């Protein structure tokens, strides 16, 4: 029988355990069995789950000896609980922490950096499953490359537009300088009492300049072009107005290009989201073509069919891809076809009765080419189904035209529509 473990040994085991040592290390240091260490720790934890005064006092004294404050102990308990939630049990805790510490040292990761990266990873795991994170990062990297390329292309376009805008603005500045020079000249002449549009006074100014020793030929040569300068001024003003409008147009184009860049970025984001859900261009085209085919079969517009399709998806389709709703629709269609078949049988019987009653009228027109299939069928000859159906439709038209108020006309009209629909379906299949 194994001798009982002393209280001193138990306290030593608990103290070493609180220091963070593994059970194997405690067993080696205190020269007791690993099983004994595990049993002592297990009993101690059990007592803590239902604490009494002695166990709490022992825990407090042990923490005080080790220099561990209550807040630090609570923080350690919180970390331990979180690791247990992640699947790290008590036996693997020391190994787990040692591995993490060793790898962080190799990668030269500081504690604050590790905490920051762990928080980022935990935040990301709330929207993306952990096993899909590498694939998610790869997709985002690819998307970043595409967006970067598009942004570079847009920046080149913006640079080109700004370059053209700068050229226009330079031309505008040159034109304004010329106008300002002419305006300054005209203003200076007025300050000196000379109106360049008043020829007598202008001539007086020229004479006065001559008396002062200026060369009149040079002055006359320059000032005689005043009319041409006015024409040039008007042309330059028009040119400035044109350049201003052109500048505004280019500015609008530049703004539109920036808006297009935002739109393209948004569209790329939507496309990548759809593609990640398995709804790429190929799948969307297939879905749209299917909706158009359904619309054509049901004789409704593609827009109406599209709205009804998505309405049915919202109302009927569940997590099983809506197969239950599909089965119910098929059952309803079968029941509808059975009702139509019964109606056709009744209408056919009624039509046979009507045809027999009015056989003389049909026989009277059997000489026409369009009623040839009916005459052949009556003789027992083989006639193509569509030809026979067309002949019956023609006969129904004649019967209905004889007496539009006849109560049997509604039944004949239903039979006529069903025959037309059947002919259309056989033509589509062919």
Give the residue carrying structure tokens 């029988």. 1
Residue 43: what pLDDT? Answer: 81
Q: Is residue 48 part of a domain?
A: yes
- Do residues 46 and 16 share a domain? yes
- Do residues 150 and 256 share a domain? yes
- Do residues 153 and 244 share a domain? yes
Residue 263: what pLDDT? Answer: 79
Q: Is residue 258 part of a domain?
A: yes
- Taking the chain (430 residues) in runs of 10, the rounded mean pLDDT of each run is 74 74 81 84 70 54 62 60 60 67 73 68 67 77 86 86 74 67 71 62 62 56 63 82 86 84 80 76 80 82 81 63 60 70 64 57 53 64 73 76 71 76 67
Q: Is residue 323 part of a domain?
A: no
Q: State the DSSP H helix or E strand holding residue 348, giving kind and residue range, or none if neither.
A: helix 323-357
Q: Is residue 262 part of a domain?
A: yes
- Do residues 108 and 209 share a domain? no
Contact between 37 and 10 under an 8 Å Cβ cutoff? The reply is: no
Contact between 8 and 38 under an 8 Å Cβ cutoff? The reply is: no
Residue 130: what pLDDT? Answer: 63
Domain boundary among 251, 273, 295: 273
CA count, 13 A, side-chain hemisphere, 205: 18
- Do residues 156 and 72 share a domain? no
Separation CA 224–CA 205 (nearest Å): 13
- Do residues 155 and 87 share a domain? no
- Do residues 154 and 86 share a domain? no
8-state DSSP, 50: S
Taking alpha carbons only, the member of 189, 209, 185 closest to residue 198 is: 189
- Do residues 64 and 11 share a domain? yes
Residue 121: what pLDDT? Answer: 67
b/e sequence 3-24, b meaning 16+ C-beta within 10 Å: eebeeebbbbbbbbbbeebbbe
3 state DSSP class of 214: coil
- Give the range of the structural domain holding residue 380, as residue numbers without chain letter: 335-429
3 state DSSP class of 384: coil
Instruction: Give strand ranges (E) for 215-321.
Output: none
Give the residue carrying structure tokens 């913006």. 158
- Do residues 205 and 107 share a domain? no
- Do residues 75 and 150 share a domain? no
Residue 9: what pLDDT? Answer: 83
Residue 61: what pLDDT? Answer: 61
The model's pTM: 0.21
Residue 345: what pLDDT? Answer: 64
- Do residues 169 and 241 share a domain? yes
Domain boundary among 273, 298, 325: 273
Taking the alpha carbons at both ends of the chain, their separation in whole angstroms is 95
Residue 79: what pLDDT? Answer: 63
């Amino acid at each position: 029988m194994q001798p009982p473990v002393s209280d001193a040994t138990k306290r030593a085991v608990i103290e070493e355990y609180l220091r963070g040592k593994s059970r194997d290390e405690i067993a080696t240091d205190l020269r007791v069995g690993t099983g004994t260490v595990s049993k002592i720790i297990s009993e101690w934890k059990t007592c803590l789950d239902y604490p009494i005064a002695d166990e709490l006092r022992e825990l407090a004294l042990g923490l005080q000896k080790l220099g561990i404050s209550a807040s630090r102990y609570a923080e350690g308990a919180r970390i331990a609980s979180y690791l247990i939630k992640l699947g790290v049990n008590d036996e693997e805790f020391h190994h787990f922490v040692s591995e993490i510490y060793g790898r962080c040292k190799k990668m030269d990761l500081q504690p604050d950096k590790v905490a920051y990266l762990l928080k980022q990873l935990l935040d990301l795991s709330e929207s993306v499953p952990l096993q899909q994170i590498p694939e998610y990062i790869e997709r985002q990297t690819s998307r970043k490359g595409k967006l970067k390329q598009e942004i570079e292309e847009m920046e080149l376009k913006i640079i080109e537009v700004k370059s053209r805008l700068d050229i226009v603005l330079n031309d505008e500045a040159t034109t304004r300088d010329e106008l300002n020079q002419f305006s300054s000249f005209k203003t200076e002449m007025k300050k000196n009492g000379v109106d360049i549009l008043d020829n007598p006074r202008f001539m007086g100014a020229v004479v006065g300049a001559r008396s002062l020793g200026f060369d009149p030929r040079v002055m006359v040569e320059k000032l005689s072009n005043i009319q041409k300068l006015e024409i040039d001024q008007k042309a330059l003003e028009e040119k400035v107005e044109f350049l201003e409008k052109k500048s505004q147009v280019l500015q609008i184009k530049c703004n539109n290009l920036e808006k297009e860049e935002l739109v393209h970025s948004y569209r790329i984001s939507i496309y990548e989201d759809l593609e990640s859900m398995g709804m790429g261009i190929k799948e969307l085209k297939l879905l749209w073509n299917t909706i158009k085919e359904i619309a054509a079969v049901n004789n409704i517009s593609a827009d109406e069919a599209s709205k009804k399709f998505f309405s049915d998806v919202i109302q009927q389709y569940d997590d099983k891809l809506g197969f239950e709703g599909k089965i119910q629709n098929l059952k309803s269609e079968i029941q509808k076809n059975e009702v139509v078949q019964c109606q056709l049988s009744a209408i056919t019987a009624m039509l046979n009765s009507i045809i027999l009653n009015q056989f003389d009228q049909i026989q009277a027109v059997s000489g026409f080419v369009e009623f040839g299939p009916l005459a052949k069928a009556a003789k027992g000859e083989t006639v193509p189904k569509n030809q026979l159906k067309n002949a019956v439709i023609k006969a129904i038209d004649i019967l209905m035209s004889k007496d539009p108020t006849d109560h049997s006309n509604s039944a004949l009209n239903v039979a006529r529509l069903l025959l037309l629909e059947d002919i259309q379906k056989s033509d589509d299949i062919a």
